[in-house]
Structure 1
Amino acid sequence: MSTAAAPVLVAGGTGFVGRRLVAALVEEGRDVRVMTRHPNRYAGPGTAVHGDVAEPATLDPALAGCAAAYYLVHSLGSADFRTRDARAAEAFGVRAARAGVSQLVYLGGLGKDDDRLSDHLRSRREVESLLGVGGVPVTVLRAGIVVGHGGISWEITRQLVEHLPAMVTPRWVRTRTQPIAVADVVRYLLGVLGRPEAAGRVFEIGGPDVLEYAEMLQRVAAIEGRRLPIVPVPLLTPGLSSRWLALVTDVDARAGRNLVDSMVNEVVVTDTSVRDVVPLRPMSYDDAVRAALMERAASR
């Protein structure tokens, strides 16, 4: 499953995780294709190629000659995102097989299969299986909240802390999660590329800290030198929570709602087998927060 010389395609290479992955792949000396609907507007590293997962015929030229492809696409901001993502994943998997791709790598979501998963997390599971319909081995990395400048989940966290003197919160603030720095997500994505022992497997990735959402918020407040009293209100439903988020953050309302729906699901690593393939030491939540705040400050 050598991918050292042949091109590697990154679908979703202009997104939050994708653009960081593209830069890291190029730094490693890889021949990287960045799939985008508007290649003429792309000015980053790698080679921009036209492709749209909603138009399967456009995928063939993008995938031609590639040894591997990363799939970092989602439609979380659409009302019918589950249908859109299912169709797109199936088309991509079939076209990748036709092109002779030997490995697909997908970033999915943590959560127990026997839990009542939200539509967002259920969609991630569907995409995992549909990417493999053509027969290409799929390597899945399941993550919880990814901490980094520009990520939707992180922006919700940061803006809640910075915009509110105190928080009246729903019960989901007591849900446990295992956040991970975006830099570590990229390191895991790099680490499984071209590894035979990663083919066709599902791995769980997370940072070293298992925290309730309330703890995450309070740690951000402490790092920023703020006080953030939290008052839980059991009757604040996910629907009301999403409207509340729309009032105090500038994240996309529909994407925010879909993420809030997932916050009732515990997302904690239960299988650490990824360490046998990619033996890295993820940074702590506090360090991930500091890195995200520093990147934001540098970009302003």
Structure 2
Amino acid sequence: MSKRPVVALTGASGYIGQNLLKKIEDKADIIALSRNGDNYEDSEHIQWRSCDLYSMNDAEKALEGADVAVYLVHSMMPSAKLTQGSFEDMDVILADNFAQAARKNNVKRIVYLTGIVPGDGEPLSRHLRSRLEVENILRAYGTPVTAIRAGLIVGPKGSSFPILAKLVKRLPIMVLPKWTRMDTQPIALPDVLNALDEGLENEEISNRSIDVGGPEVMTYWDMMLKTAAIMGRKPKAIPVPFITVKLSRLWVSMVTGASKEIVYPLIESLKHPMVVQKENYVEGISDGEITFEESAKYALESERQEGIRLKLPQLPSFKQDVRSVQRIILPEGETADSTALYYVEWLESLLNPWIRTTVDEEHCCKVGTSFSSKSLLELSYSKERSTTDRALYYITGGLLTDSEKNSRGRLEFRKIPEKNELIVAIHEYMPSLPWFAYKYTQAFSHLIIMRLFSNHMKKKSNETVYSESTDPAKG
């Protein structure tokens, strides 16, 4: 190529991102994206940008000038001091912001590292269902997506292999639930990097989902035995048919010390066979060459000789902010914009006569009490950043807001592409109440209110469906 391609790399400071950056920096100009990008120094072919992908504005700025974008983002870890909501719903926002930003910046292709979607006919685990939903969202705005689907990635960091290694190291006797006897196709980190690199360069595999795996299909117990042999250990095993996935995830979290945010979704996915599917096989990409034993030896040797601990992701430190995300049903014919205004009206009807709400001509909202003229919350509608599928309000005042610190607090209603579902999210909100008081009063009340609103919208949707099915004109 006469011109070096510009690659926007999300998660550039993370485990996979750091290694991919090293692999491609000799042939591409890289926009390295991280929440803490300002902490890194630029080099000749690497430009660091700080980016919070929960902000669509940040995402748009992050992808300016990019030809291709690599999506290595996953929201299993908390993103604020108080994070309310599931990782699935968080991932919807991140992927939707990224996909819309890619379209706005005319990015030619997105390369996405995700998990193998099994073809066993079983309902997908939460983790894999979320990974597939993200893949669909990334495709929803027209940018071609190359999805590289991998199972367990073997390397000295990350999540899956360090958890397995810690189990082997700490347990002289191991019980073997059913999931430890499920087939999987582990893949070494260098083989994953080769597949991602191919996705960046090979336009012929655009808009494809490609499974990748190592040269061996084996069970998790096989991997434990080989890892134990490398460590010089001989653990005893007791097969048990009665330990459920829920019990297993608790046991694994306790033994390894890994956070439940990481362990629970991963263990829930181990009920599926994670092997390369024929329909998603591409010669030269799908078939990794490094054996499990070779990659495990390298990971363990790195720990011993280079001082690299088999490190599990740690919870980051946060400012005193709040992120709260919930998913609700969107009734037929409604939009994100109309639902936001309806929510303000519904809130007053729910909490009448104590709470009063107002909406002005600009759709700006105030929430207050019936016995005071002062507002509890003030929401300023962002007309220029809103569409029918996304209503954005900045939290600009009120007694419940720390106005001095609340520079980016916002509330949004966002439709999930190709679904009759809506995400309602509060981002970077800084409450005025003392933290302990806020957590067990206002934050708790918000969750209850959102649950009631979700139930209300579900009932409203069912009534709409029933009304349409009994309408003689549509019969």
Q: Same fold (TM over 0.5)?
A: yes
User: What's the counterpart of residue 69 of structure 1?
Assistant: 69
The Cα of 1:141 is off from its aligned counterpart by 0.6
Q: In the alignment, residue 65 of structure 1 is paired with which amino acid? A: G
Q: Distance in 2 between matches of 1:222 and 1:144?
A: 22
User: What's the counterpart of residue 273 of structure 1?
Assistant: 281
Q: Distance in 2 between matches of 1:283 and 1:298?
A: 21
Q: In the alignment, residue 35 of structure 2 is paired with which amino acid? A: R
Q: Does 1:106 align with 2:112?
A: yes
Q: Distance in 2 between matches of 1:145 and 1:281?
A: 13
Per-residue CA deviation, residues 147-174 of structure 1 (Å, 9 max, x unaligned), is: 0011210011100111111101311111
Q: 1:261 to 1:105 in 2, by over 3 A?
A: same
Aligned residue pair count: 297
Structure of higher CA gyration radius: 2
Q: 2:142 aligns with which of 121, 135, 141?
A: 135
Q: Is the 8 A contact 1:6 1:65 kept in 2?
A: no
Q: Distance in 2 between matches of 1:44 and 1:24?
A: 17
Q: In the alignment, residue 250 of structure 2 is paired with which amino acid? A: R
Q: 1:109-124 maps to which residues of 2 (within 5 A)?
A: 109-113=115-119, 114-124=121-131
Q: Is the 8 A contact 1:93 1:136 kept in 2?
A: yes
User: What's the counterpart of residue 5 of structure 1?
Assistant: 4
The Cα of 1:39 is off from its aligned counterpart by 1.4
User: What's the counterpart of residue 227 of structure 2?
Assistant: 220
The Cα of 1:4 is off from its aligned counterpart by 5.1
Q: Is the 8 A contact 1:111 1:266 kept in 2?
A: no
Q: Distance in 2 between matches of 1:273 and 1:91?
A: 30
Q: Does 1:20 align with 2:28?
A: no
User: What's the counterpart of residue 87 of structure 1?
Assistant: 93
RMSD value, Cα = 1.8
The Cα of 1:246 is off from its aligned counterpart by 2.0
Q: In the alignment, residue 9 of structure 1 is paired with which amino acid? A: A
Q: Does 1:255 align with 2:262?
A: yes
Q: 1:3 to 1:21 in 2, by over 3 A?
A: farther
User: What's the counterpart of residue 30 of structure 2?
Assistant: 32
SS of the counterpart of 2:297? helix
SS of the counterpart of 2:106? coil
Asked which structure has the greater RCO (Cα within 8 Å, sep 6+), the reply is: 1
Q: Distance in 2 between matches of 1:44 and 1:170?
A: 48
Q: 1:171-182 maps to which residues of 2 (within 5 A)?
A: 171-182=178-189
The Cα of 1:296 is off from its aligned counterpart by 1.9
Q: 1:299 to 1:201 in 2, by over 3 A?
A: same
Q: Distance in 2 between matches of 1:74 and 1:215?
A: 28
Q: Distance in 2 between matches of 1:44 and 1:212?
A: 43
The Cα of 1:273 is off from its aligned counterpart by 3.2
Q: 1:155 aligns with which of 162, 165, 172?
A: 162
Q: In the alignment, residue 120 of structure 1 is paired with which amino acid? A: H
- Considering fraction of residues, name the structure with more helix: 1
- Point out where structure 2 has 5 or more consecutive residues left out of the alignment: 79-84, 308-475
Q: Distance in 1 between matches of 2:289 and 2:12?
A: 23
Q: Distance in 2 between matches of 1:196 and 1:252?
A: 39
Q: Distance in 2 between matches of 1:222 and 1:110?
A: 28
Q: Is the 8 A contact 1:76 1:255 kept in 2?
A: yes
Q: Is the 8 A contact 1:144 1:179 kept in 2?
A: yes
- Point out where structure 1 has 5 or more consecutive residues left out of the alignment: none
Q: Distance in 2 between matches of 1:282 and 1:107?
A: 19
Q: 1:199-218 maps to which residues of 2 (within 5 A)?
A: 199-218=206-225
The Cα of 1:53 is off from its aligned counterpart by 1.4
> Following superposition, which runs of at least 4 residues in structure 1 exceed 6 angstroms of deviation?
none
Q: In the alignment, residue 12 of structure 1 is paired with which amino acid? A: G
User: What's the counterpart of residue 385 of structure 2?
Assistant: none
Q: Distance in 1 between matches of 2:223 and 2:19?
A: 24
Instruction: Give the alignment's TM-score, normalised by structure 1.
Output: 0.94
Q: Is the 8 A contact 1:175 1:263 kept in 2?
A: yes
SS of the counterpart of 2:114? strand
Q: 1:42 aligns with which of 40, 43, 46?
A: 40
- Considering fraction of residues, name the structure with more strand: 2
The Cα of 1:224 is off from its aligned counterpart by 1.5
Q: In the alignment, residue 131 of structure 1 is paired with which amino acid? A: L
User: What's the counterpart of residue 56 of structure 2?
Assistant: 56
The Cα of 1:299 is off from its aligned counterpart by 3.4
Instruction: Give the alignment's TM-score, normalised by structure 2.
Output: 0.60
